[in-house]
Amino acid sequence: MISGPHILLINGNTTPAVTVGIEQAGRAAAPPGVTVSAITPPSGPATVESYLDGQLAAVGVCAAIAAQQEAADAFVIACFSDPGLYAAREFSRRPVVGIAEAAMLTAVQLGGRFGLLTPQPRLRPVLEGLVRSYGFADRLAGVQVVDWSVAAAAQPGPARSEAFLQAGRRAWRDDGAEVLILAGAVLAGLEVELAAQLPIPVLDPIKCAVAQAYALLLLGQPTNRADRRAVPERKACRGCPPELTAHLYRAED
Amino acid sequence: MISGPHILLINGNTTPAVTVGIEQAGRAAAPPGVTVSAITPPSGPATVESYLDGQLAAVGVCAAIAAQQEAADAFVIACFSDPGLYAAREFSRRPVVGIAEAAMLTAVQLGGRFGLLTPQPRLRPVLEGLVRSYGFADRLAGVQVVDWSVAAAAQPGPARSEAFLQAGRRAWRDDGAEVLILAGAVLAGLEVELAAQLPIPVLDPIKCAVAQAYALLLLGQPTNRADRRAVPERKACRGCPPELTAHLYRAED
Amino acid sequence: MISGPHILLINGNTTPAVTVGIEQAGRAAAPPGVTVSAITPPSGPATVESYLDGQLAAVGVCAAIAAQQEAADAFVIACFSDPGLYAAREFSRRPVVGIAEAAMLTAVQLGGRFGLLTPQPRLRPVLEGLVRSYGFADRLAGVQVVDWSVAAAAQPGPARSEAFLQAGRRAWRDDGAEVLILAGAVLAGLEVELAAQLPIPVLDPIKCAVAQAYALLLLGQPTNRADRRAVPERKACRGCPPELTAHLYRAED
Amino acid sequence: MISGPHILLINGNTTPAVTVGIEQAGRAAAPPGVTVSAITPPSGPATVESYLDGQLAAVGVCAAIAAQQEAADAFVIACFSDPGLYAAREFSRRPVVGIAEAAMLTAVQLGGRFGLLTPQPRLRPVLEGLVRSYGFADRLAGVQVVDWSVAAAAQPGPARSEAFLQAGRRAWRDDGAEVLILAGAVLAGLEVELAAQLPIPVLDPIKCAVAQAYALLLLGQPTNRADRRAVPERKACRGCPPELTAHLYRAED
Amino acid sequence: MISGPHILLINGNTTPAVTVGIEQAGRAAAPPGVTVSAITPPSGPATVESYLDGQLAAVGVCAAIAAQQEAADAFVIACFSDPGLYAAREFSRRPVVGIAEAAMLTAVQLGGRFGLLTPQPRLRPVLEGLVRSYGFADRLAGVQVVDWSVAAAAQPGPARSEAFLQAGRRAWRDDGAEVLILAGAVLAGLEVELAAQLPIPVLDPIKCAVAQAYALLLLGQPTNRADRRAVPERKACRGCPPELTAHLYRAED
Amino acid sequence: MISGPHILLINGNTTPAVTVGIEQAGRAAAPPGVTVSAITPPSGPATVESYLDGQLAAVGVCAAIAAQQEAADAFVIACFSDPGLYAAREFSRRPVVGIAEAAMLTAVQLGGRFGLLTPQPRLRPVLEGLVRSYGFADRLAGVQVVDWSVAAAAQPGPARSEAFLQAGRRAWRDDGAEVLILAGAVLAGLEVELAAQLPIPVLDPIKCAVAQAYALLLLGQPTNRADRRAVPERKACRGCPPELTAHLYRAED
């Protein structure tokens, strides 16, 4: 289908290899006739592991969405803390989906309580706060941590599979999780292996987000398109990324 | 696409005319190659307006989903209180979507707080309880009631349009709603008119649910398929609908 | 006392032996002059262990309460998930008490936090959801599971006593429970043994419910008796139990 | 019944006329064979309208319950902020019921959401906090205030009846209350008049509390009787009321 | 600075040795020119370990604050359950700070989640309830208990240091606490030792409270000074402490 | 005091005139011997009125705090949405205070429920979300909006005073607020006028934040100084502000 919709994934970090993996994962969930592609944001950290990383990622992600506004029908922020999600929704005239939110919205439709698997102890409170802010605190069975570096967690192999399978088993058996979410973009693909060995669904958040973006497109309603309350007047912004001054701010030295 | 997926909508009440409207609404959101059809449940009340109506509807809906288990790839419970949703998810080997849950999951991706429009004062506390149970209490701007009988609310025409438009304006202006949900299957189609005259998205929950059902199908994961914790042993059930005794219970006099 | 009030217990399942046990437990808490009896509902599953079981039980329970409306002064739904409670309260002109709700209302008056003892791992999330929906999430010390089949848990004997005593000790010592609730109708009677060996009160929910039903009768106020918002017009219902069409619906083929 | 149980009501304030009214209200809900009487505490303010009043009332109430420990089978704290409730439960070997808690526990069994009627604007945030602390925030329809002095509100007559009837109508019609609670001991008796003119139950909290006290007695379980965690060692207390030093503390100058 | 502000600490118990320790801790956080002193209340228990202790302490604390109203610029209630806090704020014309509330307000500004260290298992549910009532349930990492008597916990020495250090490590490593609060006035001073050996801040609540009291003084605004809604008319109070009848009540026999 | 502590305020926007006003307000609350100064961040929007403005402001604020890390003893983020607060706390070795959080922490110590006054309808849901995320949802009396442009609201004069006084009166009388917070940096100074005419305290959040920063300094504990969980390894960041690459990231093209 030549004129089919285009869903654009924005990597939250600036590591091109991760962008490639995100694109592959996204395409695996693309419906017939839908184009899925991924880009690296113009600015931001190499990985997103801290609040400060997230703040910098949010600006890069918003700049990318502003710059590509006419180039896609829907946007997916492909980073599990959903950096810049509310800000992008505010100015974008097309739907914006966050992979963490999308994964949770999917999980609650598949089971009672979901478990999160993350490679980093540091992210545990961040993830719990995210779950709470989306209203799903009562649906969280728990967060299971595999204490691996992000770099190590990004490399497929039997050791990684085994470590996450163990964590998944704990989530299922001890925490009572009825669905699992792989809380990290670098884990894409692992859900197939895990789902084959666990009695519950295992979700890749990137796939969930592509599916949600398409779901929003099916409804054919732009977001907040005419609600002038949502977007303030164009104003000066110092040191603003050029992608944002092009449309949303006036540049200022 | 001949072998495309089939999404089956189950009307929550036993009024065939409503089933027809549900099928039309559902088809309007069907992606290319997807078959959408609607059926009336084998038992249940003519309309769902009370807790008791909801209990009877739940059994009828579950019976229909059990009977059609092999005939569809995903199921949508098309009644705004989502009768039987958790029960159907428990036994169904294919995804089951509720239109109220689907509409709320959609709304929170399109704006900060959503408003509900309902024709019935009696349903206000029921709707508030539903919002709360899904975790979205903080996202509810309010419930606006148009005090019309369900029968009257089911008839399109300028008076109905005007009454709901007024309610939508109050939700937007007074309650601060950034998205509206038409909380009732009989209102299908009205969202187009309202969206044309209000500066915020207006959602038909049936369309949202079809889109969500397709989103779940894109992920290709059966629900809780092997988790034996979820489904108890087959046991005797007295006076059980034949659709349920056929597979899930043993009949008993 | 010949003209004393009559409290009718409705078993949630259709196993007559359980009805007998429920009646015994209820009579043990009956005040002087009060008649307590128990009946098996006209339809429903042999045991209630799943959401679907609960949906079927709810209809059977409501049918029984509708049929016995003039035969009793108050009704108790004797099944720990309180199936059909809100629906029965909606149409019944006499008080309706649920044993789970009654047990929790009692427990919070006897101690800070209560623990639940259940024979089934599968019921843990169901019980937690029930506690939350009644507003007592902050009062729940925890759910202790004794992994026995319901059938086994229904048979008194030293092994059962010991298993539940261990679970009760964990609830008291590890979870900090100050009151225990036996979360299951088949455990009736065990509370006496446990209370003799633990330093905290142990509640049988059936007794709690009989006491609550009598408490409501003492107030002499019918429930929602004239509030026409609560009950919709009599309407058609297909495949409706005869007990419900007799008074609340019009039968329809 | 000569040896029937004795329920003792403790007025929260030191105004004997209010104690008389409390005793009358309590007796109106007493089951056959049960003795209900009321006493004025040995110390405390003439009315309870502030946090400081409540602190002083709590000590007086606890002193009374300690002094009468052997003279009654159950105690009711008859003051709508339940002063000293948790403290009294801690040391009392017999059940202690608070009228506010008892009224709310009753209300949620009779309808979806309850409304509170109070004569004093100052008490509104106190009442809302109390509702929240008992876990019933989601069940509160609202607080309706009749701006009368407590003294005026304590005098029966057509003006009082009319004022509270108006407030009750607002609670029912505007707030959606399905049950009403008279939030104040001085309003005892008014519930009969209001219930006759409103389509929903109207609860006198004193009656509710007597019924709850009897419900706890029916269960035959002492409160926390052997749990040594609950009560600390006997220790010195300076300026302690003699009723408390007699049993619970050592006097100290 | 002769005319500098005076912050008065009120010990919650009547043990003079504890008052001395409180004064020392408070002075260690006093800003230049600020006078900090501590007094023992005129009445109350020797230690505060139960709800009843807390009720008696509240009256003693309020009496002290009423009696010293003109003698200080701000008051600190130096007992970790904040007895009498809301009551004292109601009548005091100068700021009143509670050490538990102050410690939590400080902790949330220093880290994501805080842990509480307490010497007493009995206090665990009390502390959890306090955290909840202040709105910080989501910020509590956990309560770690060192099972020592209060008397033992009050004696500095290597065994005490080691026991609390172990508890602090569990809070940091297992519960994920990013800040620790010593939940007890008898632990004053221990925070220096612990902070030297743990990688996270450790807070003495008395110091936090002195700092908060000074912060309120810097704003130069009296509390609720003219809001007549807050304080009721002067009324009779029987057996009222002389400090309270001197200003806030009329004495009555 | 020459070597006294230095509290540095970071304006959230890049309008120098607002920075001047912030410095004046901050100095008005500075304790003796404490230096208070304010700076404009190196980048960001001219005003902060939207989520996107907030994201850009957060980066500018964090850059300023990183650059001034050695130049001050504590930092205040002087913008009512607290942009970058959690991120700055993560890397800063000195305390970081947000004016919104500080104002709320102050307000709850001065009264039961607080009201917020804001000049902008658009900010209402943002403010409500902020209150909720800090745990004070139960303490919020309401948000009163004065529908003025930010520019107009920044100009002192009798019309502004009158408009905000009216809003304050509504908050006090209708919403039951016991304390008011001026939710905007441009309103600094107005709290004196309002406090003179209303019976409740009125808080300028900048003053509150300076007082809180000093309170944290009095405790003498660095934030999370050695907890390596909080701060990830130094990593590459593309297009990162030079203030951040200087210390926290490696620059990357």
What does the pLDDT look like over B18-63, one tens digit per residue? 999 999 999 999 999 999 999 999 999 999 989 999 999 999 999 9
CA A142 to chain centre: 19
Residue B225 has pLDDT above 70, yes or no: no
- Across the interface, whether the CB atoms of E176 and A132 are under 8 A apart is answered no
**From A64-68, E198-202, F150-154, F188-192, the region with the lowest mean pLDDT:** F150-154
Q: Which of E18, E19, E52 to mutate to test the interface with D (most CBs of D within 10 A)?
A: E52
Confidence at residue A149, expressed as pLDDT on a 0 to 100 scale: 78
**Can you spell out the DSSP letters for C26-60?**
HHHTPPTT-EEEEE--SSEESS--SHHHHHHHHHH
- On whether the CB atoms of residues E92 and E157 are closer than 8 A, the answer is no
Q: Helix (H, G, I), strand (E, B), or coil: what is residue F252?
A: strand
* Mean pLDDT of the region D195-223: 92
* Mean pLDDT of the region E71-91: 95
Rounded (5°) CA angle E81-E46-E27? 65
Q: Which of A93, A99, A173, A219 to mutate to test the interface with B (most CBs of B within 10 A)?
A: A219
- Across the interface, whether the CB atoms of D50 and E90 are under 8 A apart is answered yes
- Across the interface, whether the CB atoms of E227 and F199 are under 8 A apart is answered yes
* Mean pLDDT of the region C127-131: 93
Distance from CA of E138 to the nearest CA of A (A): 9
Confidence at residue C121, expressed as pLDDT on a 0 to 100 scale: 83
Q: What b/e sequence results for F66-76 when a residue is b if at least 16 CB atoms lie within 10 Å of its CB, and e otherwise?
A: bbbbeebbbbb
Cα→Cα distances B12→A191, B47, B80, B124, Å: 35, 8, 8, 19
Q: Which of B32, B201, B212 sits opposite A223 (nearest CB)?
A: B201
List the structure tokens of D187.
């309003």
List the structure tokens of B112.
């900060």
CB atoms within 10 A of CB C58: 31
Pairwise pLDDT comparison (C223 vs A6), residue with the higher score: A6
What CA–CA distance (Å, rounded) separates E204 from F219? Answer: 9
Residue C31 has pLDDT above 90, yes or no: yes
Going by pLDDT thresholds of 50, 70 and 90, the confidence category of residue E58 is very high
- Across the interface, whether the CB atoms of C232 and B87 are under 8 A apart is answered no
Determine contact: B122 vs chain C, CB below 8 A: yes
Burial of C66 (0-12, 13-18, 19+ CB in 10 A): buried
- On whether the CB atoms of residues E189 and E156 are closer than 8 A, the answer is yes
Nearest CA in chain C to D27: C218
| Tokens 């006294």 sit on residue | F4
Nearest CA in chain C to B237: C45
Nearest CA in chain E to D242: E239
**From A188-197, C113-122, C227-236, F238-247, the region with the lowest mean pLDDT:** C227-236
- Across the interface, whether the CB atoms of B46 and C90 are under 8 A apart is answered no
Per-residue pLDDT tens over the stretch D99-139: 999 999 999 999 999 999 998 888 888 899 999 999 999 99
What CA–CA distance (Å, rounded) separates B226 from B249? Answer: 19
* Mean pLDDT of the region E121-136: 91
Determine contact: C189 vs chain D, CB below 8 A: no
Nearest CA in chain D to B133: D138
Pairwise pLDDT comparison (C80 vs A151), residue with the higher score: C80
* Mean pLDDT of the region E147-167: 89
Distance from CA of A143 to the nearest CA of F (A): 17
Determine contact: E169 vs chain F, CB below 8 A: no
What CA–CA distance (Å, rounded) separates C22 from B34? Answer: 51
- On whether the CB atoms of residues F41 and F64 are closer than 8 A, the answer is yes
Q: Which of D128, D132, D138, D144 to mutate to test the interface with F (most CBs of F within 10 A)?
A: D128
Q: Helix (H, G, I), strand (E, B), or coil: what is residue B221?
A: coil
| Tokens 């408070």 sit on residue | E26
Going by pLDDT thresholds of 50, 70 and 90, the confidence category of residue E151 is confident
Confidence at residue E198, expressed as pLDDT on a 0 to 100 scale: 93
Rounded (5°) CA angle D16-D19-D21? 120
| Sign of the torsion formed by the C-alpha atoms of F141, F143, F145 and F149 | positive
Order of strands across the sheet that contains A179-182? A140-145, A114-118, A179-182, A202-203
For E15: left if phi > 0, alpha if psi spans -120 to 50, otherwise beta; the answer is: beta
Q: What b/e sequence results for C67-99 when a residue is b if at least 16 CB atoms lie within 10 Å of its CB, and e otherwise?
A: bbbeebbbbbbbbbbbbbbbbbbbbbebbbbbb
- Across the interface, whether the CB atoms of E214 and F31 are under 8 A apart is answered yes
- The percentage of residues in chain B with a pLDDT greater than 90, rounded to a whole number, is 77
Q: Which of E31, E102, C100, E252 is nearest to D40 (CA)?
A: E252
**Can you spell out the DSSP letters for B68-99?**
TTTT-SEEEEESTT-TTHHHHHHH-SS-EEEH
Residue F1 has pLDDT above 70, yes or no: no
Residue D238 has pLDDT above 70, yes or no: yes
Q: Which residues of D touch C199 (CB under 8 A)?
A: 224-228
* Helix H or strand E encompassing B172: helix B158-173
Determine contact: B147 vs chain A, CB below 8 A: no
- The dihedral over CA atoms of C77, C79, C80, C81, expressed in degrees to the nearest 10, equals -80
Distance from CA of E171 to the nearest CA of F (A): 13
Nearest CA in chain F to E200: F224
Q: Which of D219, D224, D228 to mutate to test the interface with C (most CBs of C within 10 A)?
A: D219
Residue E225 has pLDDT above 60, yes or no: no
Going by pLDDT thresholds of 50, 70 and 90, the confidence category of residue B150 is confident
Q: Which of E14, E237, E248, E252 to mutate to test the interface with D (most CBs of D within 10 A)?
A: E237
- The percentage of residues in chain A with a pLDDT greater than 90, rounded to a whole number, is 77
pTM for the complete prediction?
Answer: 0.95
Nearest CA in chain D to C206: D219
What CA–CA distance (Å, rounded) separates E210 from E191? Answer: 16
* Mean pLDDT of the region A133-150: 91
What CA–CA distance (Å, rounded) separates E205 from E104? Answer: 8
Q: Helix (H, G, I), strand (E, B), or coil: what is residue B228?
A: coil
* Mean pLDDT of the region C147-175: 90
**Can you spell out the DSSP letters for A74-90?**
EEEEESTT-TTHHHHHH
DSSP 8-state symbol, C228? T
- The percentage of residues in chain A with a pLDDT greater than 70, rounded to a whole number, is 94
- With a CB cutoff of 8 Å and minimum separation 6, the contacts of A188 are A21, A22, A24, A25, A182, A204, A206
Are chains F and D touching, using the cut-off of 8 Å on CB pairs and a minimum of 3 such pairs? yes
Confidence at residue F54, expressed as pLDDT on a 0 to 100 scale: 96
Q: Which residues of D touch B125 (CB under 8 A)?
A: 112-113, 176, 178
Determine contact: A125 vs chain E, CB below 8 A: yes
Q: Which chains touch C (3 or more CB pairs under 8 A)?
A: A, B, D, E
Q: Which chains touch E (3 or more CB pairs under 8 A)?
A: A, C, D, F
Nearest CA in chain C to D222: C201
List the structure tokens of E243.
């400090």
What CA–CA distance (Å, rounded) separates E192 from B58? Answer: 62
- Across the interface, whether the CB atoms of A113 and C125 are under 8 A apart is answered yes
- Per the document, the length of chain D is 253
For F33: left if phi > 0, alpha if psi spans -120 to 50, otherwise beta; the answer is: left
* Mean pLDDT of the region D183-207: 91
Determine contact: C125 vs chain A, CB below 8 A: yes
E-contacting residues of C 49-108, CB under 8 Å?
A: none
Confidence at residue D2, expressed as pLDDT on a 0 to 100 scale: 44
For F96: left if phi > 0, alpha if psi spans -120 to 50, otherwise beta; the answer is: beta
| Sign of the torsion formed by the C-alpha atoms of A157, A158, A161 and A166 | negative
Residue B141 has pLDDT above 90, yes or no: yes
Confidence at residue F122, expressed as pLDDT on a 0 to 100 scale: 82
Q: Which chains touch D (3 or more CB pairs under 8 A)?
A: B, C, E, F
Confidence at residue E229, expressed as pLDDT on a 0 to 100 scale: 61
**Average pLDDT over chain F, rounded to an integer:** 91
* Mean pLDDT of the region D54-79: 97
Q: Which of A20, A134, A8, A131 is nearest to A61 (CA)?
A: A8
- On whether the CB atoms of residues A200 and A177 are closer than 8 A, the answer is yes
β-partners of residue B39 are: B10
- Across the interface, whether the CB atoms of E113 and A125 are under 8 A apart is answered yes
Q: Which of B110, B195, B218 sits opposite A31 (nearest CB)?
A: B218
Residue A170 has pLDDT above 80, yes or no: yes
Residue D224 has pLDDT above 60, yes or no: no
List the structure tokens of E149.
């008597």
- On whether the CB atoms of residues D170 and D116 are closer than 8 A, the answer is no
Nearest CA in chain B to F137: B138
Confidence at residue B2, expressed as pLDDT on a 0 to 100 scale: 44
| Tokens 């934030």 sit on residue | F223
Confidence at residue B227, expressed as pLDDT on a 0 to 100 scale: 62
What CA–CA distance (Å, rounded) separates F109 from F127? Answer: 20
Going by pLDDT thresholds of 50, 70 and 90, the confidence category of residue F27 is very high
| Tokens 């009315």 sit on residue | D47
Q: Which of F220, F235, F234, F227 is nearest to F73 (CA)?
A: F220
Distance from CA of D207 to the nearest CA of C (A): 7
- Across the interface, whether the CB atoms of D113 and B125 are under 8 A apart is answered yes
- With a CB cutoff of 8 Å and minimum separation 6, the contacts of B36 are B6, B7, B9, B23, B26, B27, B29, B30, B210
* Mean pLDDT of the region C182-190: 86
What CA–CA distance (Å, rounded) separates A224 from A234? Answer: 17
Are chains E and B touching, using the cut-off of 8 Å on CB pairs and a minimum of 3 such pairs? no
Confidence at residue D228, expressed as pLDDT on a 0 to 100 scale: 54
Q: Which of B95, B16, B86 is nearest to B54 (CA)?
A: B86
- The percentage of residues in chain C with a pLDDT greater than 90, rounded to a whole number, is 77
| Sign of the torsion formed by the C-alpha atoms of C66, C72, C73 and C76 | negative
- On whether the CB atoms of residues F81 and F184 are closer than 8 A, the answer is no
Q: Which of B50, E200, A45 is nearest to C249 (CA)?
A: B50
Q: Helix (H, G, I), strand (E, B), or coil: what is residue A193?
A: helix
Q: Where are the beta strands (DSSP E) in B177-252?
A: 179-182, 202-203, 235-238, 249-252
HSE-up of residue B164 (Cα within 13 Å, Cβ side): 34
Q: Which residues of C touch A112 (CB under 8 A)?
A: 125, 129
Q: Which residues of B touch A226 (CB under 8 A)?
A: 199-200
List the structure tokens of D160.
């009082």
Give the pairing of strands D202-203 and E179-182: unpaired
Q: Which chains touch A (3 or more CB pairs under 8 A)?
A: B, C, E, F
Confidence at residue B234, expressed as pLDDT on a 0 to 100 scale: 87
Going by pLDDT thresholds of 50, 70 and 90, the confidence category of residue F126 is confident
Determine contact: E221 vs chain F, CB below 8 A: yes
